A and B are shown apart, each in its own frame.
Chain A
Amino acid sequence: AQTVTQSQPEMSVQEAETVTLSCTYDTSESDYYLFWYKQPPSRQMILVIRQEAYKQQNATENRFSVNFQKAAKSFSLKISDSQLGDAAMYFCAYRMLTQGGSEKLVFGKGTKLTVNP
């Protein structure tokens, strides 16, 4: 079964510095998608970044980038130049296909990021 593990329940970073959030997953599939979602205090889930497993190039979205290591089944998120607005819960998610013809996301338990001014 596919599982997603986030080993850091909490992380903190100084404003303007860089932080890396870890995520590992377990799968027997060769083609899949991985996501990082952000959940600020408002509880709204917001997509941060997406990675297709067949792409060797790491995805980048402005200050957010990933280090995707397919063989190691690792998918870490790097936040550069951290801002106060980055403070949130961050969830790593794996997209898998269902037998019913849909797809579903399997989430890790999340990492709470605190940004210190």
Chain B
Amino acid sequence: SQTIHQWPATLVQPVGSPLSLECTVEGTSNPNLYWYRQAAGRGLQLLFYSIGIGQISSEVPQNLSASRPQDRQFILSSKKLLLSDSGFYLCAWSVGGGSNEQFFGPGTRLTVL
């Protein structure tokens, strides 16, 4: 069966510090991968998606970047965090095409102080 992991679960970082959040998927090959951010009391906003290694699409201009160094690994990064980067970050995967649902990881709670 497929599983998706995210770490860390929680993170407190000072403004201006770098960020690296990792997401890995097990039990499937060549998944579509996604990074979402959920601000307090709001819905999910898609940040990045990837249909293959090294292929990253950005949905909104921001202080963050994403990379996919391996088929089932998706990394969210920042060189210098802003206060506005605080939120709950969710990674998701899906099988490309069709009516496929997206499966979500457990999320990372990021607080920037």
A residues with a Cβ closer than 8 A to B are 33, 35, 37, 42-47, 50, 52, 91, 95, 98, 100-110
Contacts and interface: CB of A to CB of B under 8 A. Distances in A.
A37 B103 CA distance: 10
B71 to A, nearest CB: 15
B15 interface: no
A60 to B, nearest CB: 16
Contact of B90 (A33, A45, A50): A45
Nearest to A51: B99
B44 A102 contact: no
A9 B104 CA distance: 23
A44 B49 contact: no
A44 B107 contact: yes
Given A44-B104, A44-B107, A102 B99 contact: no
List of 8 A-B pairs having minimum Cβ-Cβ separation, nearest first? A45-B104, A107-B43, A109-B43, A107-B44, A102-B51, A100-B57, A102-B32, A43-B107
A108 B32 contact: no
Interface in B77-113: 88, 90, 92, 94, 96-97, 99-104, 106-107, 109
B46 interface: yes
B49 A102 contact: yes
Contacts of B92: 45
B101 A102 contact: no
B106 to A, nearest CB: 6
